[in-house]
Amino acid sequence: MKYRKNRYDEGETCRSTILTVSLPKEMLATIDEAVRVLKTDRSKAVRYAIEQVYGLMKKE
């Protein structure tokens, strides 16, 4: 994984993560649905989906 310093952090230690992932078609359809329902852009919908999946994985 590559880390990129977020230029909006102004010296904080928080980092944004650049991920390259290939997603199954079902998940892409879910992301498209989220974009339409939440009226947001794809990157936010993808981030939301990954956070949801990662949160479920973390609990197990």
Q: What confidence tens digit (pLDDT) does each residue in 15-55 have?
A: 555 555 566 676 777 777 777 777 777 777 777 777 777 77
pLDDT of residue 17: 54
pTM of the full predicted structure? 0.34
Whether residue 12 lies inside any domain: the answer is no
Whether residue 10 lies inside any domain: the answer is no
User: What is the residue range of 41's domain?
Assistant: 19-60
- Name the E strands within the chain: 2-5, 15-18
Phi and psi at 22, nearest 5°, equal -105, 130
Whether residue 49 lies inside any domain: the answer is yes
Whether residue 60 lies inside any domain: the answer is yes
In whole angstroms, how far apart are CA 57 and each of 52, 53, 54, 60? 9, 6, 5, 6
Domain count, the chain: 1
Whether residue 43 lies inside any domain: the answer is yes
Whether residue 30 lies inside any domain: the answer is yes
pLDDT of residue 13: 46
